[in-house]
Homo-oligomer: A and B are copies of this chain.
Amino acid sequence: MKKTISVPTITAFKNSPDRGKGLARDMRVRWALEEVEQPYNVQLVTFEELKQPSHLALQPFGQIPSYEEGDLVLFESGAIVFHIAEKHTGLLPSEAKARAHAIAWMFCALNTIEAPIVERSSFVLFEHDKSWYNERLPLLDERVHVRLKQLSSHLGNASWLDGAFSAGDLLMVTVLRRLGSSGLLNHYPNLCDYIARAEARPAYQRAFASQLAVFNDTLNS
């Protein structure tokens, strides 16, 4: 009897607020799956569907992406990427110390770096019409700069954060890309090169094209 291979299914926004820029969190999971050459299905969900009990059973916080593989159901993009990285080769080094370092960069991307970046982008999105907007934005820019400066110092002239490309780089690049058109990254040429190096990977390009196709389909429907 042949072993049944469960093709995973992920959820993604039917109408992503990023308009196909690859900033939604399904991009991380698509990219990881492309790096390990694992085919996958995508179930598109509306904002209304995210709040329904059927989705909340998969994802208690009403977010995307969720991940289903046979009877395994996962949420949190970091945990899904980690699961893919453990199940396949290519995203985590096998040597124990290098593996632990790559995992540290995964947590770093999603906690130390993402927190001030999301705080800033939420502020721009939701509070641009508030009286305090112009006075407060520089405070948030400065918090992001503190982290970018430290990250830039650590990276130096290296290609990736710690040796070979890993799930830590994959998550870090998706987090940095959320700064989008803010201009904050322009002060750090080595971080811009780092992002460009990641975006040039064929797996990244396939993942980006897939999520862009969803946006284009929505426009044409």
Chain A residues near B (Cβ < 8 Å): 56, 60-63, 71-72, 74-80, 82-83, 96-97, 100-101, 103-104, 106-108, 110-112, 114-115, 118-119, 127, 130-132, 136, 139, 147, 150-151, 153-154
Q: List 29 A-B contacts (CB under 8 A).
A: A60-B154, A61-B150, A62-B150, A63-B112, A72-B97, A74-B100, A74-B104, A75-B104, A75-B108, A76-B107, A76-B108, A76-B112, A78-B111, A79-B100, A79-B103, A79-B104, A79-B106, A79-B108, A82-B103, A110-B110, A111-B114, A114-B115, A115-B115, A115-B119, A119-B119, A127-B139, A130-B132, A132-B132, A132-B136
How many copies, total? 2
A107 interface neighbour in B79, B131, B154, Cβ under 8 Å: B79
CA A62 – CA B147 in complex, angstroms? Answer: 10
Given contacts A74-B101, A78-B111, A119-B119, 7 further A-B contacts (CB under 8 A): A60-B150, A60-B153, A60-B154, A62-B150, A79-B103, A82-B103, A115-B119
